Amino acid sequence: MTRIDAKFAALKSEGKKAFVSYIMAGDPDLESSLAVMKGLPGAGVDIIELGVPFTDPMADGATIQLAGQRALDGGQTLRKTLEMAVAFRESDDTTPIVLMGYYNPIYSHGVEAFLADAKAAGIDGLIVVDLPPEEDDELCIPAQAAGINFIRLATPTTDDARLPKVLQNTSGFVYYVSVTGITGSQAAQAAHVGPEVSRIKSQTDLPVIVGFGINTPEAARTIAGVADGCVVGSAIVQQIASGKSRDDVLAFVAGLASGAHSA
């Protein structure tokens, strides 16, 4: 059982929905992002998605693209991102960490070396948005063998013919992208999301977590209410981009977490 599996089991026993937060590693700098990361569990975050900056982030909107560029300009790398996880684990051995990003940095690192380093750093899951199920032998299956969950995205365009393929080797949870398009592009609507979550859950026992288009406590509550939890990324990254203090960022996150947990 991974930390992700254990977290969902604990939440289920408490009758709570999951709140997942995304931050970009190294934004605006390594020290600041690590300080925010360390404060996320205390703000109510159940699972941390840690973005790995990349030069061509095709699935991300302007907010996260700019965060990635700031991180790259500051010298952030995949190796430094893993070092962030190591530093986080010094004081927290229970909160799951999911690395979210693109395949190129992992390929450049070497898949076998990356998985060994990620496991040693305390990484629990991977979301690699540019590796479709047809490429599962590249990373997904080796990651599962290494004890790291491989989390797949389903979208509004994932029809019934495609869904079984998407779910085939997924573990940890399913990330349902609530809107068609890039991150931060439009608001999620519970009336649209609910039936899609039900459709996915009819084909898997995995938790379904909804992301994209959630930026207020009320939105977190309503979306978590029709799923097993929700993810917020761009809205948190925007707080960091605007120069808010660590405490202010964490207060914002706490409001979102409270919304999700009240669902």
pLDDT for the residue 183: 53
Percent of the chain with pLDDT over 70: 97
pLDDT for the residue 191: 80
pLDDT at 77 over 70: yes
pLDDT per position as a tens digit, 84-98:
999 999 999 999 999
| Active site members | 49, 60
CA distances from 150 to 99, 145, 169 (A): 10, 10, 8
CA angle 243, 248, 250 (to 5 degrees): 115
Q: Compute the mean pLDDT over every residue in the chain, rounded to the nearest whole number.
A: 95
Percent of the chain with pLDDT over 90: 90
CA dist 45 and 18 (Å) reads 8
pLDDT at 16 over 60: yes
3-state SS, one letter per residue, for 80-103? HHHHHHHHHHCCCCCCCEEEEECH
Q: Are 219 and 192 in contact, with CB atoms under 8 Å apart?
A: no
Give me the sheet containing 18-24, strands edge to edge.
149-150, 125-128, 97-101, 47-51, 18-24, 229-232, 208-211, 174-177, 153-154
Q: What token pair was written down for 30?
A: 């390594």
CA dist 227 and 204 (Å) reads 13
CA angle 131, 160, 184 (to 5 degrees): 55
**How many CA atoms does the CB half-sphere of 6 hold within 13 Å?**
10
Domain ranges for the chain:
3-261
Q: Are 58 and 41 in contact, with CB atoms under 8 Å apart?
A: no
Quick one: CATH architecture of 3-261?
Answer: Alpha-Beta Barrel (3.20)
Neighbour tally for 120: CB within 10 Å: 12
pLDDT per position as a tens digit, 144-158:
999 999 999 999 999
pLDDT band of residue 39 (cuts 50, 70, 90) is very high
The phi and psi torsions of 156 (rounded to 5 degrees) equal: -60, -20
pLDDT per position as a tens digit, 94-135:
999 999 999 999 999 999 999 999 999 999 999 999 999 999
pLDDT for the residue 187: 63
Q: Are 89 and 114 in contact, with CB atoms under 8 Å apart?
A: no
Higher pLDDT, 227 or 57: 227
Averaged pLDDT for residues 165-182: 88
